Amino acid sequence: MYHHIKRITILLLGVTALFSCKKKFDDYYARPTSLEPPVYQQLQSKGKFKSFLAVIDKAGYKETLNAAGYWTVFAPNDSAFQAYFNANSTSVEKMDSAKARAMVQFLLVYNAFQKDRIDDYQSSAGWVPDQSFRRRTAYYSGFYDDTMQNGQVVKTIQSNRNGSATPYVANDNNNKYIPYFTDIYFNSRGLTAVDYNYFYPNSQYAGFNIAEAKVVTRDMVAENGVIHEIDRVITPLPSIEEYLRSRPEYSEFRKLFEKYLVSFMASSDATNRYKLLTGDNKQVYVKVYNASLAFSPNNENYLKLQDNDGQQSSWTMFVPKNDVLLDYENRVLLEYYKSFDNTPTSIILDFLNAHMWQTPVWPTKFSSTMNFLGEEARFNSQTDIFDRRILSNGMFYGASKVQEANVFSSVYSRAYLDPKFSIMTRLLNTDLKFVITYPASKFTLFMMPDAVLRAAGYDFNTNSNLYTYTPPGGGALQSGEAIRQNLLRILNTSVIPGDFQDLSGEGIAEAYNNEYIKWKNNQVISSGTQDNNQVVRVDSTRITSNGKVYYLNGLLTFTTRNVGTHIVALGGTSTASDFYYFSQFLVGSSLYTAATGEINGMTAGTNYTVYIPNNTAIMQAVKDGVLPGNTTTGIPKFTSLTGTEKEQVNAFILYHILNKKSLIPNGKESGAFETLLKNPSGEVLPITVISLPGSMQITDMNNRKSNVIVPKSNNLSNRTIIHLVDNYLKYSY
């Protein structure tokens, strides 16, 4: 009996202790009395969210908003719902659960943000103040039916990444974003109510707006989040792709994506998920956009370089309506093609990318926001835009004109858009494309047709990805970097900075590679055509936005002869040529190699200017003892020179060659320049050149002047210009 009573006593003591511990546990872990009620109860207590609560109930989100969590809720008040019901002839009772669920999910933002924090960007490195105008919602589109290029309708899911390498990441729902606009964000961006009302003309900008709604009461704190009361019902926004799909006036623009730059990729992950949700075994495809596009219009995630980077940026697309686009296609893009089926994909890509921005383009920032091609939005926000919207993944502008991209309007376009210039276009793309498409710079471009290049022996092998050359007169096929460099030299000689309109007269111009071309009576002369006695004439011309294009019947080739060969040719065989005495001194010097025409001290690939004193000036140099010969008569001595005389001749020649520069009398460049002559200490000896349009004067180290004799100057050589001058240049050691 004693033992039984003892056991009961111990049991009672244990129970007492247990209840005592539970009381302490509950007291410690109980919900604090100061904590605000959860979202659902908060909405109930306010008495003005009855319709929203009914939609929440129908959506099945009562428990979610009545339990733990961390949400920002944009809650339309009853007045907002009444206006919505009236405008759409509906009610909560008429609304199905799917529509209710979509509405509620789109008004739920992950994590709780009060007004002073919602415009801060949650970067991977921490909060970045005043950088955000969007937040990820709980809503996503999911599976839908789409049509492949062959007409087959398939079950589809949108890509949730850009490009085709990894277009779909499983377990990423591609959640939509909701836009909001705060005074702090607008001030930091230099934006005003004008930028807001451009999209929402029937709404009032209040410094805190959610899409077209105004925040009436902000920062209502709940146990599981923050509530912001809004004065309008906001329904899920479409993505750029979804909006395009719904608007027939943009069907021609959309067709360029759908037919040429979209593919459907079977996805086992998406298929398994679809089966789990529906029990259906249908194959699910991911709709994938070409990786070379600025972005995938169905991707809601922005770049996803960081998890939340969609908070602080979005896409933008300008879309021309059908009639405008068709006209532009026929006039410009398809001028040389029957259809886009025959057009290089790069042309379609460039056209679409010209209308795509990887950043928001605010209405007041058209001229300062660059698209994927690095060009500003070339639209008048008041007269060219008839449809303007902020969608779930970006801004959308329906336009009554196209974006005039540089690649389609500049001198470059004449090669790019014409299949007869495919080799030239390939060369331009690797060397000069971004130079000659710049609209603020003027250029003159001489065209290089494939047929003319091939007739000259040049071609491109798409299998080996190499440029080739076969001598027209017969010989082995050559390929490699040397051939590419030769073609680039011809190309660079065919690009003239500046805009001259008339080749019917006579003149000379500096090419992009600092070599020169000349023209006379609509015939164009390069150093190579000059050597080959080839006549290259102008067949036709075309004006573009940044210059003039000339269609020729030949190539502006370069010479392979060395400079000495041209000097000797200019000198001829007698004093009938004013270049004769100088050329004879060159031939007799130890600088010259007769077999090759090389001049010692000149390096292949370098630009030079040679100033050749005329015969009278040479005779004066002889009289002055600067060159060997009869100091009384001035008759030069070219042969049987002593060692001292050879040094005298060599130094004279080198001091008349300007190093690393090819100058003509055009007024573009003047100053002190180095020659090829160095003193015994190795210091370069200079001359001073004053260039004016139509005249040029050279001053030597002794302040002696010499003038270019223009009618007999501007002679083309190998990266070199040869001038005749009326006085010799005297150096001093």
Cβ contacts of residue 535 below 8 Å, gap of 6+?
523, 529, 554
Residue 24 or residue 368, greater confidence: 368
Cβ contacts of residue 327 below 8 Å, gap of 6+?
none
Amino acid in position 333: L
> From CA 494, how far away is CA 420, in angstroms rounded?
17
Mean pLDDT, range 366-394, rounded to an integer: 98
Is the pLDDT at 23 greater than 90? The verdict is no
- Sorted by where each starts, the structural domains of the chain and their CATH numbers stand as 39-138+177-235 (2.30.180.10), 144-164+239-400 (2.30.180), 410-552 (2.30.180.10), 563-725 (2.30.180.10)
Residue-level pLDDT at 3: 42
Residue-level pLDDT at 517: 97
Mean pLDDT, range 168-172, rounded to an integer: 96
Is the pLDDT at 5 greater than 50? The verdict is no
> From CA 145, how far away is CA 158, in angstroms rounded?
11
> From CA 2, how far away is CA 20, in angstroms rounded?
27
What mean pLDDT value characterizes the chain? 95
Is the pLDDT at 94 greater than 70? The verdict is yes
Q: Is 670 helix (H, G, I), strand (E, B) or coil?
A: coil
Is the pLDDT at 28 greater than 80? The verdict is no
pLDDT digits (tens, 9 = 90+) for 595-637: 999 999 999 999 999 999 999 999 999 999 999 999 999 999 9
Mean pLDDT, range 277-302, rounded to an integer: 98
pLDDT digits (tens, 9 = 90+) for 403-433: 999 999 999 999 999 999 999 999 999 989 9
Residue-level pLDDT at 473: 87
pLDDT digits (tens, 9 = 90+) for 213-260: 999 999 999 999 999 999 999 999 999 999 999 999 999 999 999 999
Residue-level pLDDT at 133: 98
Beta-bridge mates of residue 210: 180, 213
Residue 600 is encoded by which pair of tokens? 């010692």
> From CA 462, how far away is CA 432, in angstroms rounded?
21
Beta-bridge mates of residue 390: 395
* Burial letters 603-617, b for 16+ CB under 10 A, else e: eeeebbbbbbbbbeb
Question: Residue written as tokens 């001035």?
Answer: 634
Is the pLDDT at 554 greater than 60? The verdict is yes
Is the pLDDT at 713 greater than 90? The verdict is yes
pLDDT digits (tens, 9 = 90+) for 509-553: 999 999 999 999 999 999 999 999 999 999 999 999 999 999 999
- The answer to whether 289 and 296 are in contact (CB under 8 A) is yes
Least trusted range by pLDDT, from 182-186, 498-502, 656-660, 686-690: 498-502
Task: Give the whole-number percent of the chain exceeding pLDDT 90.
Answer: 93
Q: Is 113 helix (H, G, I), strand (E, B) or coil?
A: coil
- The answer to whether 436 and 492 are in contact (CB under 8 A) is no
Nearest Cα residue to 556 out of 591, 532, 580: 532
Residue-level pLDDT at 33: 52
Cβ contacts of residue 202 below 8 Å, gap of 6+?
212
pTM: 0.90
Residue-level pLDDT at 500: 76
> From CA 254, how far away is CA 248, in angstroms rounded?
9
pLDDT digits (tens, 9 = 90+) for 570-588: 999 999 999 999 999 999 9
Mean pLDDT, range 101-108, rounded to an integer: 98
Cα dist from 701 to 66, 402, 620, 662, 674, whole Å: 93, 60, 18, 20, 11
Is the pLDDT at 8 greater than 80? The verdict is no
> From CA 559, how far away is CA 727, in angstroms rounded?
29
Cβ contacts of residue 341 below 8 Å, gap of 6+?
none
pLDDT digits (tens, 9 = 90+) for 61-79: 999 999 989 999 999 999 9
> From CA 39, how far away is CA 221, in angstroms rounded?
8
Mean pLDDT, range 147-173, rounded to an integer: 96
Cα dist from 367 to 320, 350, 388, whole Å: 18, 20, 17
Residue 32 or residue 609, greater confidence: 609
> From CA 592, how far away is CA 599, in angstroms rounded?
5
CB atoms within 10 A of CB 438: 15
* Burial letters 536-560, b for 16+ CB under 10 A, else e: bebeeeeebebbbbbbbebbbbbbe
Nearest Cα residue to 521 out of 510, 532, 537: 537
Least trusted range by pLDDT, from 1-10, 422-431, 432-441, 459-468: 1-10
Residue-level pLDDT at 35: 78
- H or E segment and range at residue 277: helix 268-278
Task: Give the whole-number percent of the chain exceeding pLDDT 70.
Answer: 95
